[in-house]
Amino acid sequence: MTDKDQNGTRALRLGVAGPVGTGKSSVIATLCRHLRDEFDLGVITNDIYTDEDARFLKSEGVLPEDRIRAVETGACPHTAIRDDVTMNLMAVEDMERDFAPLDIVLVESGGDNLTATFSPALVDAQLFVLDVAGGGDVARKGGPGIARADLLIINKIDLGEYVDVDVAQMVADAEKARDGAPVLALSRKRPETIDRLCDWVRQLHARHARGDHTPVDPGPMAPHHHAHDDGHGQGHHHHGHDHAHHHD
């Protein structure tokens, strides 16, 4: 049984997924920087063979270093957030126990493709992060993460003019793909967009604390083919998508 805080409610577990390079680590850093005075926070990062995202967040100084922990999954990122969440669940529960009572634990997926989703057994809600540099048509491609995550973030909107992306159209396409579910256009250089993100997390935490939030499963990954053996003893996990390991 997971440790619970003084109100009888365990920490809100919030997943952050999305393709490589869209800014997942940056989104988490932004949330930590702006919410750490209101909430007790912890972060779990996922990478296949490194702890690079955790080291990035520690270097940013957004939380005490011992509140940022890395899980090295050794397999496709979606495996550890969807198929077998044991490693992540243990990391989250250890974090909650060590720093009880925590309010929010952020769980960052390793960069995966457009279909990656968290299991509701691991997180209570999930963000899916796209960015304008990935192309204005990405939001139209849909998939479980884009269509059914609790919140879709269109990140780096300040770059739209430099990469010939119509941000308003991209947001409209995303809203259509999500049947009106929330889409948030974000830039860490535009404070009003950060305020909206933080307000969304505050409202989610309030619902969770009241017991009014029910985790919704976005659905499994779409069927996909992996092109080659990863060569690291995970022969049944073949990689057709890019698993570069720079931080976001």
Q: Which residue positions form the known binding site for GTP?
A: 18-25
**Structure token pair of residue 110:** 């390793």
**Structure token pair of residue 50:** 């490194």
Q: Which H or E element spans position 25?
A: helix 24-35
Ramachandran class of 192: left when φ > 0, alpha when ψ lies in -120 to 50, beta otherwise: alpha
Binding site: which residues?
18-25
* Residues 55, 223: Cα–Cα separation, whole Å: 33
What is the DSSP code string of 94-118? HHHHHTPSPSEEEEEPPPB-TT---
Cα 187 to the chain's mean position, in Å? 16
Cα 239 to the chain's mean position, in Å? 21
